[in-house]
Amino acid sequence: MLFGIGYDIHKLVENRKLVLGGVEFDYPLGLLGHSDADVVLHAVCDALLGAAALGDIGEHFSDTDPKWKGISSKFLLLKVADLVKERRCGVNNVDVMILAQKPKIGQKKLEMKKNIAEWLHVDASRVNIKATTMEGIDAIGRGEAIAAQAIASLSEDR
């Protein structure tokens, strides 16, 4: 069994869409980043890459490379899933914690879970999404940013 962790944080700004776990939220602010800045999928990518000992998201999708500018993080996750498969590993499970003061995440968790499961070619029972606020503490608690943490486990097919 192989394990990896991932973390991502992006600043909330005006004139950007807010996308988390491949789901667009109706919210006046969005996350600033080179891609769509989906912190959930970025954290999942890093967790999977870490478990497979394949580096990190920045090594594969540099924020200085114009070909990744504005790209949906769904495509980054699909590419990571291919890399994990090429490494002869299978996804056992993924667990995600979203840290956001606002918007409320609860009603969108199931849709995020289904997206991630579909894109990783696993049953939805293998993906967990949870969320917490920061009780008004730090940049996340002040509503200035959103972060996500993820852990993934893989099995080797050797």
The predicted-structure confidence for 48-69, as pLDDT tens digits, reads as follows: 999 999 999 999 998 888 888 8
Q: What angle do helix axes 73-86 and 39-51 make, rounded to 10 degrees?
A: 10
Is residue 100 over pLDDT 80? yes
33-60 average pLDDT score: 96
User: Could you give all domains of the chain from N- to C-terminal order, each with its CATH number?
Assistant: 2-156 (3.30.1330.50)
Please give the C-alpha separations between residue 47 and each of 74, 76, 107, in angstroms, as whole numbers.
15, 13, 24
User: How do residues 119-145 score in pLDDT, each as one tens digit?
Assistant: 999 999 999 999 999 998 999 999 999
Strand pairing report for 89-99 and 127-132: parallel
Alpha carbons 108 and 87: distance in angstroms, whole number: 32
Smallest Cα–Cα separation from 39: which of 16, 55, 65?
Answer: 16
User: How do residues 65-99 score in pLDDT, each as one tens digit?
Assistant: 888 888 999 999 999 999 999 999 999 999 999 99
**Collapsed DSSP state (helix, strand, coil) of residue 88:** coil
Element (H, E) at 3: strand 2-13
> What's the pTM?
0.95
Q: What does the pLDDT read at residue 158?
A: 56
